[in-house]
Amino acid sequence: MARIVDHPILGKLEDRKAVAFMFDGDTYEALENETIAAALLANGIRTLRVHEESGTPRGFYCNIGHCMECRVTVNEQANIRACLTVVEQDMVIESGRQHPNIVKRMVEKL
């Protein structure tokens, strides 16, 4: 996945400093002032979490902070919206996982 570097309306993407961050244990690079959602998409990552009950993959949806579909854990703080949060150097981001108690209840129903 690549970034748009020359947009007909927004203009050229100017040279910006690279910012290193971790997502689920792997190191990636964002561009300075880029949101977590944009940085992950630019790195080919579309799944930000899984649904707490069903385990189905979830990515960003509204990209304006309303739907909460993009929530991730940032530096051990849960439920951070990836579409509104700018990546910072050495930020540690973790995707959302199935809630263990819900998984246990689902298994018990089988």
Residues that bind ligand FES (CB under 6 A): 60-63, 65-70, 81, 83
Calculate the CA dihedral of residues 92, 95, 100, 104 and round it to 10 degrees: -160
Q: Give the distance from CA 18 to its chain's centroid.
A: 17
CB closer to ligand FES out of 7 and 46:
46
Q: To the nearest whole angstrom, how small is the minimum distance from the Cβ of residue 106 to ligand FES?
A: 26
Q: Which amino acid is at 30?
A: A
- Ramachandran region, residue 16 (left: φ > 0; alpha: ψ -120 to 50; beta: rest): beta
Q: To the nearest whole angstrom, how small is the minimum distance from the Cβ of residue 78 to ligand FES?
A: 14
CB closer to ligand FES out of 67 and 86:
67
Q: To the nearest whole angstrom, how small is the minimum distance from the Cβ of residue 72 to ligand FES?
A: 10
CB closer to ligand FES out of 81 and 93:
81
Report the alpha-carbon distance of residue 69 to residue 1 in Å, rounded: 21
